Structure 1
Amino acid sequence: MNQLETGILYIVPTPIGNLLDITYRALEILKNVDLIAAENIRHTNILLQNFNIKNHLILMNKDNEKKQSDNLIQKLKRGEKIALVSNAGTPIINDPGNILIQKCYFFNIKIIPLPGPCAAITALSASGINNNRFCYEGFLPSKKKTRCNLLFSLKEETRTMIFYESKYRILQSIEDIIEQIGKNRHIVIAREITKKWESIYGANAILILEWLKQDKYRYKGEMVIIVEGFKKSKKNNLSKKILDTFLILRNFLSLKQSVLITSKIHQISKNNLYQHVIKKKCDKTI
């Protein structure tokens, strides 16, 4: 199929709080497309009414994404122009729409993405934490065990980490970060970005938790958690106590299990301990 014979799907970011953050280009597209596929029609209507835009909206959320994507593809193949919007921010990121994007590529339908608001990037820019290398992890899992497993797997991630969290679990998540990543890791909490009650606060994990508990309004609304990446120690922090623990465990367990358990007990890098053991070649005579 010749791409010029099909319609166009526009990916249109919308404000994450402050309606003035909409771009002229986004307004022009929302006004002139044949229809708007919205994650929440009521929410999008508020935006459109604010700028006196009248257009046809159809619902596409996580519940009907697959079926609605097929419907939209048929419209695009007939040459219609469609704007895809989410509740707020840049569509697709933690929002429905990826199925539609994939189908557009399959049918060679043109996609035009617009630049615009994104809570994760906006918060990162003001965090003061190294932003040359970062990873976005989205919302932390709601179940404690799954959340802790994820955080533990990221303990030695050297890139800055970005998470989303709700007001209902923020205290538990910070407690889990302290337990799994470390109490001294620097964290920034960015709350209600671009909105009236916006606040950005940074400190080590313990102080962040204390700060949140001092005032319940500090964890109201939507939050971005930015966690400093792991920094390798320049000095050998493998004390005699740590090595003694490893040797005791090694009498009963495999090398891998002994290293893992020792690192958890003493809150140290398992890689450092493993490399030390390998360097000594004989782990039972450290």
Structure 2
Amino acid sequence: MDSRWQHTTVLLNEAVEALVTKPDGIYVDATFGRGGHSRLILSRLEPQGRLVAFDKDPEAVAAAHAIADTRFEIRHEGFAALRELASNSISGVLMDLGVSSPQIDNPARGFSFRSEGPLDMRMDPTRGTSAADWLASAPVEQMAEVIREYGEERFAVQIAKAIAARRQERGPLASTSELAQLVAGAVKTREPGQDPATRTFQALRIFVNAELEELQAALEASLDVLEASGRLVVISFHSLEDRIVKQFIAKHSREEFDRRAPFAPAKPMKLRALGRVKPGAGEVQGNPRARSAIMRVAERTAA
């Protein structure tokens, strides 16, 4: 792990304070990153407590091995693997959905349009298809759909056509700077202060890593693994993620009635929403990447 790329954990104290209500319980850090949340969770646990962490990134897993604590376990898996844990066994699940600074800042990972690097974008570069490989053959219609849906980019069609034209004229895109320059030429206007490539890079990263699908699967799994009064704490960094989390909590925070059986008793709610937290001005000033973070907290009911 390269010490040049440091990560500042967002909403560190707020998240752990909301999560750990039972010091002898079993907790999950579903996205270890560089372990900021995990280390603080461990400091709040009693000797019989336990923490299980997940991460796709081999570099994050390597960083986790530096934690010499018998109460801690790291798994090299995405957090949808929550479903492998025993039902009603977990006292709290934390999901920090942000990309870690070492991933963004290391040009070799291909996440950032600000640095020259290979167009990769995989959280786990040992598995799956890179952004470059997908863009080398994806149809225009599919590229446009991905960029529009996952990047909320209104110039998605123009960008997709520009990628296809470049592919035909000079071969596939290979680097982050090539893609950033191409997008800049296709995007005619942009919000002040935002790079034209921001939304496209977000879209490709989400798509390549199946981030929204994995989030949905992990949220559903959390309902099964959380014990009664167990906490679900999720930190989102863009509207697509937060919308999924908000709707998931809202759906399971109300009784469900079966319209086909109007006189049948309602299914009890599975979660109780406990609120929403955003970083304070001081945290945003010290760490600008925190500015878009939203933390939502819910508690598993006894149902």
Normalising by structure 1, what TM-score? Answer: 0.28
- Give the number of the structure whose alpha-carbon radius of gyration is greater: 1
Normalising by structure 2, what TM-score? Answer: 0.27
